[in-house]
Structure 1
Amino acid sequence: MDSIWTMTADISRREPLLEDITTDTVVIGGGMAGILIAYFLEKKGIPTVVLEASRIGSGQTKNTTAKITLQHGPIYHKLIGEIGEKNAKLYAEANRLAIAQFRSLVEEKRIDCEFRECSAYLYSCEHTDTLKKEEEAAVSLGICAELTDKTELPFPVKSALKFYDQAVFHPLLFLERISENITVYEDTKVLQVERAEEENKIITNRATVRAKRVVFAAHYPFINVPGYYFLRLHQERSYVVALKNTKQMDHVYIGIDMEGFSFRKSGDYLLLGGGGHRTGENTGGGSYQKLRKAAEKWFPECKEITHFSAQDCMPLDDIPYIGQFSSSTPDWFVATGFRKWGMTSSMVSAMLLSDLIAKGQSPYEELFTPQRFHVQASAANLAQDGAQSVKGLSKGVFTATPKCTHMGCALEWNPDELSWDCPCHGSRFDGDGKVIDNPAIEDLANE
């Protein structure tokens, strides 16, 4: 199904790469992160080319709920405990600046993208303790937030934490304008990156690009070594139904309970989200049905316009990996692990990486560096992800189930999406075996 954004925007098509070229920097991936990184690099005078396997914004960007917010779930109390108040404050500051950069670009370039300021709420129908601790943490970091029990939701809540001065927008309308003067080659799939002392050779399905630097911004890094991101990321899916004839809401809401839902209006429509799970763990299906059942309960007169889903890369310590790809590749850079907050994380990536490439430093590089390892924050997730990979790889050896072309894990059928999903690292394939989500780059073999 089309998302609400693809139904209401059509970005002009770009030509594929037709011949070998040379440039300063190549960005792999033409979603929000890749385009913003290229835009900021060009503004700093660094010639940049974007290589996109499909169309601009055709990956996860088209399926986002497009919240521009530093409210990233109940994270600040956790960050203070695990990485200290100074680093937690840096995290909040980077995302606050990201919101300001979106606002500034929209105003400066007069982008008609339905940009609208609002508040962002976390809410719970079951308890208050978590949100109370989060309020105390957020306020201590200089975030304008307060507890309340008053919301626009169609049901009562025990508590809600309101973050002021957040925003929403139409991501594809924004991308259309911001990418106007960026060199983007669509339908150009990167197959391999070879590194030499003085240049990198980026081999695509069409031609080859030579560049001093490479930025991996295609959601999940498809190169296993160096970097070893397959050991430090897993992927999760989330679902949305777009409804009309509902109560409208001026603000955005995220539920923190086990069966919590998200709410966000877009024009005359309401986007109701929820039903998430780890990729590859939905063999019973029913995620969209949960949303439809909730919609019927709260909005009896509603009508579904469309439904769509997104996939998110989850880092071990809940902080994105943005910076140098690995210690052995000083001219490779990466932006991944955005959790469910791809809009501000994309802008943070653009600010950080453009400074790192142009100036050799960024005030946020140590916080987001992919070379970090926070033991307390990472240990539990590392063990869980490792166990999941062992399970998937073992099943791949002993069963006749289709195997992922990334590392050979057994695939699971997702009846909600009619896709084969990998529970190890999140690659996905359609019913015909075509890759629809990385890190896999090869289709399933016809059998």
Structure 2
Amino acid sequence: MPDGNPTISLESNGGFIVTENGKLPQHPESYWRTGIDFSKFPSLEEDIQVDVIIIGAGITGITSAYLLVNEGLKVAIIEAGEVLNGTTGHTTAKITAQHDLIYDEFIHNIGRSNARLYYEANMEALRFIKETVDRHKIDCDFSQQDAYIYATTEKYARKIEKEAEAYEKIGIEGGLVDSIPFDIAIQNALVMKKQAQFHPTKYLVHLLQTIKEKGGLVFENTTAVNVETGEQPVVLTKEDVRITADHVLTCTHFPFYEGAGLYSTRMHADRSYALAVKANKQYPGGIYISADEPTRSLRSVTINGEEMVLIVGENHKTGQGIETMEHYKALEQFGEEVFGLKEIVYRWSAQDLITLDKLPYIGELTSGQPNILIATGFRKWGMTNGTAAALLFRDIIMGYENNFEKLYTPSRFYAHPSLKNFFKENANVVGQLIKGKLDSPKTKPEDLSKGEGAVITLDGHRKGAYKDEEGKLHIVDTTCTHIGCEVEWNNGERTWDCPCHGSRFSFTGEVIEGPAEKPLQKYDYTMLDNLTSEDSGY
């Protein structure tokens, strides 16, 4: 968020935020989470023993459970909140191996054969999803689409030419084109043939039903906090329940248990934004993403029988950059210029992790712990990478051969770019840590309007404040409970976001996303100059 932590005054009108171009929904809500009959699952209240315990109920965890119950194993999934309410429930839902400009970079950094393996792993994931949809006749709006990446500047046009050469070197079906069917002035574009899109939660709800029918267990509101290692590891929950298993699969976005992996130093968190819109112009088919920054990603989506457009982009590191509502406004402006907007129906945001070498970490958590596996760092391409992770997990557990195990192993290290990016990312963390400690915000509690939040100064201390629609103030300590960086206010989602490792907290201080495990300290604010901590020690 910007220096000085200013507040933004947003005019609300009938559940909408009035902007220069129209109206944005006042509250963020993912379309993938609406109109779906999500089963409610109990919390786990007693010790259990299973063959495999899976932590995290997104695409990786649910697909893993589906595969493993089909192998006859006793499987349990635990989810800290509700199923499909994390990154999977806020995705763009493209099923593609075209992951930005990546293959030329991979050829130079990890070699041609590994670049080819990455493509094959993601195409295998696409085929698995299609075959699963066909086998179970899942009504999830699956459709085959060609995928395009386009350049609007000479700089990125040259990069696309290099990427086209990489496609040819590793045998990807596609090639250069000089136009796309939008009112966007491009230099060139690159197409990857026979990719796809779908409705992710419709697909995964069906897999959940199959898991239940085959004896799999699913628990919501059950938070894993630690692992006792050994021949049969034990997952410990926040509720002091013990889950004993032969294998532990950590599919929690950020690993809740790092072992000696130190993953917080090997990844950074990145956010992006989405609008689902009714447009004046008909969508021509295909899925698209810009090579240039800021990112613009496009696909169609059918909502209540009407074809709409999903506009996604505006990437930035979590807790850093401009006021978050400005990202939504930028996407709105782009949509107006390209399509002409009738209405913005939904808006939401997502967060994912990016590793040092841009390959996900999938496999053994740390050396010597072969029965604790992780999957993280999907770089916003989780539909295929998450599915590839589940397929790899099944093969590791069942002892099947898998050509991608070495590619994804978390213990890998490529000196370039990993070493360079390690120092770069951790220098950024140090800079954010120092910046937050030196920050002296000028805003006071009485400056806030209803529905507004900001970093404030109260009795000489840096605090976070949010005034809800009833006028009640919610005060928290802004020191992140992970390593002590200072969180910033996210006015787009009404959350507190950490600029160091991407932890996110609700306006009341509860953890939304890790690596932080403990909530922000809350304060009881009754009157000015009278601040008392709800916890001792203040």
TM-score tier (shorter)? over 0.9
Q: Corresponding residue for 1:280? A: 319
Q: Corresponding residue for 1:141? A: 170
The separation in 2 between residues aligned to 1:361 and 1:403, in whole angstroms, is: 46
Q: Corresponding residue for 1:295? A: 335
- Do 2:145 and 2:194's aligned partners in 1 also have CA atoms closer than 8 Å? yes
Q: Corresponding residue for 1:105? A: 132
Distance 1:131 1:24, change over 3 A: same
The separation in 1 between residues aligned to 2:127 and 2:195, in whole angstroms, is: 9
Match of 1:156 among 151, 173, 185: 185
Residue 122 of structure 2 corresponds to residue 95 of structure 1: yes
The separation in 2 between residues aligned to 1:300 and 1:395, in whole angstroms, is: 41
Deviations 1:174-233 (A, max 9, x none): 011011132211111112222234432433426321112111101011224321101111
Superposed, which structure 2 residues align to 1:20-169 within 5 Å?
Answer: 20-127=47-154, 128-169=157-198
Letter in 2 for 1:87: N
Superposed, which structure 2 residues align to 1:345-356 within 5 Å?
Answer: 345-356=385-396
Of 372-381 and 233-242, the range deviating more from structure 2: 372-381
The separation in 2 between residues aligned to 1:153 and 1:10, in whole angstroms, is: 36
- Do 1:254 and 1:261's aligned partners in 2 also have CA atoms closer than 8 Å? yes
The separation in 1 between residues aligned to 2:236 and 2:173, in whole angstroms, is: 45
Residue 488 of structure 2 corresponds to residue 412 of structure 1: yes
The separation in 2 between residues aligned to 1:253 and 1:432, in whole angstroms, is: 38
The separation in 2 between residues aligned to 1:350 and 1:171, in whole angstroms, is: 15
Residue 295 of structure 2 corresponds to residue 260 of structure 1: yes
Q: Corresponding residue for 2:271? A: 237
State the 1:395 CA deviation: 4.6
Task: Give the CA RMSD over aligned residues.
Answer: 1.6
Residue 372 of structure 2 corresponds to residue 332 of structure 1: yes
- Do 1:11 and 1:172's aligned partners in 2 also have CA atoms closer than 8 Å? no
Larger-gyration structure (1/2):
2
The separation in 2 between residues aligned to 1:151 and 1:96, in whole angstroms, is: 24
Residue 435 of structure 2 corresponds to residue 359 of structure 1: no
Task: State the 4+ residue runs in structure 1 displaced beyond 6 angstroms.
Answer: none
Instruction: State the TM-score, normalizing by the size of structure 2.
Output: 0.80
Q: Corresponding residue for 2:222? A: 188
Q: Corresponding residue for 2:520? A: 444
The separation in 2 between residues aligned to 1:194 and 1:15, in whole angstroms, is: 24
Deviations 1:401-443 (A, max 9, x none): 5111122211122222222111111001121111111112221
The separation in 2 between residues aligned to 1:420 and 1:116, in whole angstroms, is: 37
Superposed, which structure 2 residues align to 1:196-235 within 5 Å?
Answer: 196-205=230-239, 207-235=241-269
The separation in 2 between residues aligned to 1:422 and 1:200, in whole angstroms, is: 30
State the 1:398 CA deviation: 5.6
Of 114-123 and 259-268, the range deviating more from structure 2: 259-268
- Do 1:20 and 1:207's aligned partners in 2 also have CA atoms closer than 8 Å? yes
The separation in 2 between residues aligned to 1:260 and 1:205, in whole angstroms, is: 41
Q: Corresponding residue for 1:341? A: 381
Letter in 1 for 2:318: T
- Do 1:249 and 1:264's aligned partners in 2 also have CA atoms closer than 8 Å? no
The separation in 2 between residues aligned to 1:246 and 1:200, in whole angstroms, is: 55
State the 1:136 CA deviation: 1.3
Of 40-49 and 286-295, the range deviating more from structure 2: 40-49
Deviations 1:156-179 (A, max 9, x none): 311110110100000000011011
Deviations 1:276-296 (A, max 9, x none): 100010353311111112222
Unaligned 5+ segments in structure 1 are none
Distance 1:193 1:396, change over 3 A: farther
Letter in 2 for 1:113: C
Q: Corresponding residue for 1:271? A: 310
Q: Secondary structure at the match of 2:371?
A: strand
Identical amino acids, percent of aligned pairs: 37
Q: Corresponding residue for 2:509? A: 433
State the 1:328 CA deviation: 3.1
Q: Corresponding residue for 1:13? A: 40
Instruction: State the TM-score, normalizing by the size of structure 1.
Output: 0.96
- Do 1:146 and 1:161's aligned partners in 2 also have CA atoms closer than 8 Å? yes
Q: Secondary structure at the match of 1:16?
A: coil
Deviations 1:307-360 (A, max 9, x none): 000001000001000000110322110000000100000111011111011106
Of 376-385 and 30-39, the range deviating more from structure 2: 376-385
Residue 459 of structure 2 corresponds to residue 383 of structure 1: no
Of 268-277 and 394-403, the range deviating more from structure 2: 394-403
Q: Corresponding residue for 1:368? A: 408
The separation in 2 between residues aligned to 1:360 and 1:202, in whole angstroms, is: 29
State the 1:150 CA deviation: 2.3
Letter in 2 for 1:404: C
Letter in 2 for 1:420: W
Letter in 1 for 2:117: L
- Number of positions where the alignment pairs a residue of Structure 1 with one of Structure 2: 447
Of 43-52 and 391-400, the range deviating more from structure 2: 391-400
Letter in 2 for 1:386: N
Distance 1:103 1:354, change over 3 A: same
Of 10-19 and 387-396, the range deviating more from structure 2: 387-396
Deviations 1:210-257 (A, max 9, x none): 112111101011224321101111000000111013431311100011
Letter in 2 for 1:111: I
Distance 1:167 1:206, change over 3 A: farther
The separation in 2 between residues aligned to 1:32 and 1:6, in whole angstroms, is: 14
